Amino acid sequence: MNHNKVQEKVGGVMGGKVLDLPEFRVFREGKAEGLKEGKAEGLKEGLKEGEAERQQMAEKIEALQRELEQIKKDKS
């Protein structure tokens, strides 16, 4: 049930008054809660991905530092 369509059709009969039916209220509350949970899930996933990327970069930096040290030793 689309709230805007129902409001449009019934609102004309009722003189433009806003309908606040329990079904609409429950839908809005459920939608808000779902969005909130989805945002929290997204943040968790983003943190996990960011940490994994940070770890990969740290390993690459360490490997490059070892390589640089080896090059310095070979030159001396």
pLDDT, one tens digit per residue, over 50-59 is: 999 999 999 9
pLDDT tens, position by position, 9-45: 665 555 556 667 788 889 889 999 999 999 999 999 9
Residue boundaries of the structural domains of the chain: 3-75
Query: What per-residue confidence (pLDDT) applies to 22?
Result: 82
* Lookup result for tokens 């459920």: 30
Please count the CA atoms within 13 angstroms of the CA of 57 that sit on its side-chain side: 6
**Category of 19 on φ-ψ map: left (φ > 0), alpha (ψ -120 to 50) or beta:** beta
Verdict on whether the full-model pTM lies above 0.85:
no
